[in-house]
Amino acid sequence: MSTTTPPKFGHDMHSCCPLCLESPADTVAVPCAHQFCAHCLAQWAQRQPTCPLCRTILTVPVSRSSQQTSSDALQPIRGTLRERAEREEAARERSRASRAALRQRLDRYQSEFITPSGRPFESLPLATMEDIRKLGQKNRFALAGICQAREGF
């Protein structure tokens, strides 16, 4: 008994036509980069103007070629992706430069602020309003005591 094994579809996508599953003698590549037998695609295109695999509308006439056409079909996509990546990188670089300039301005402004005690702005301790009120009360009592002591002399 002789059995023939069917061709393994998907094993090598370029070795057989997805429509007839045979080795194509005359390969045609469509704009979406899928490849078919010229005869199979011509029959398909008479019924439907779409790619048999992905249903992309075939508005551009199909071209006869093999690997070169699929590469040519991908060229506009590669160019578009490259341009997009370059634009995104330029935007990231502008953002980095803007943040660096802002950091420099903030550092310059902070170094210009000097407190009455002569200490730079960034070395000041943090205090809440409650802390400031308590210190004010203590200072008021201390000042009152000093004033009373002076009046006694």
**For the chain, which domains are there?**
27-110 (3.30.40)
Q: First and final CA of the chain: distance in angstroms?
A: 132
pLDDT band at 121 (very low <50, low <70, confident <90, very high): low
Does the pLDDT at position 7 exceed 60?
no
Q: Which residues contact 5 (CB under 8 A, 6 or more apart)?
A: none
Mean pLDDT comparison of 67-71, 90-94, 132-136, highest-scoring range: 90-94
Do residues 63 and 69 touch, judged by C-beta distance below 8 A? yes
User: Across the strands, what pairs with 35?
Assistant: 29
Do residues 16 and 35 touch, judged by C-beta distance below 8 A? no
Strands of the sheet containing 63-64, edge to edge, are: 35-37, 27-29, 63-64
pLDDT, tens digit, 9 for 90 and up, residues 18-49:
888 888 777 888 888 888 888 888 888 888 88
pLDDT band at 83 (very low <50, low <70, confident <90, very high): confident
pLDDT band at 85 (very low <50, low <70, confident <90, very high): confident
Q: What is the pTM of this model?
A: 0.32
What is the model's pLDDT at position 112?
A: 60
CA pair distance 96, 77, nearest whole angstrom? 28
CA pair distance 112, 131, nearest whole angstrom? 26
CA–CA distances in Å: residue 57 to residues 61, 63, 87: 11, 15, 29
pLDDT band at 91 (very low <50, low <70, confident <90, very high): very high
Higher local confidence (pLDDT), 130 or 5: 130
Neighbours of 125 (CB within 10 A): 6
